Amino acid sequence: MEWSTARNRIATHIRVGDDLNTTESTFREVWEIGPIRDSESYGYRSETGFVVRIGAVNSIAIPWSMLESCFQALKAESGYDGRFFRNHFGLQAKHHPCHVHVVGQIFVNSGLARRLGTRYYLRSDAAGPA
């Protein structure tokens, strides 16, 4: 599956208000979709994506560029996990480790991935109808 197809799938399936919790988490909800606040520390400059609530009052930004990078890992035999995320987005992982599973749950809720333990893998049937 190509990124353009995956991106369309995510855009079609993820909506404001969607629950992105795992069985171990609470308060993971899509708050906004669209432009994300510029952040010098993270290098997000006029990107679009998702703002997701974490906890009662905090949020994290998940730009499309982050999802694209993580999608490439999702397609690999080893899958997408915290190690990949920390290697590519170390500052975000340091500030909010929950980025790892929020990104993974965006893939799961879009029908692109399945979660096995702490790893996420591309679903074999993901290339089928959306």
pLDDT of residue 128: 56
The ranges of the chain with pLDDT < 50 are: 130
SS3 5: helix
Give me the residue spans of the domains in the chain: 3-122
pLDDT of residue 38: 78
Cα–Cα nearest to 53, from 68, 81, 82, 32: 32
Cα-based angle 90, 93, 94 (whole degrees, multiple of 5)? 85
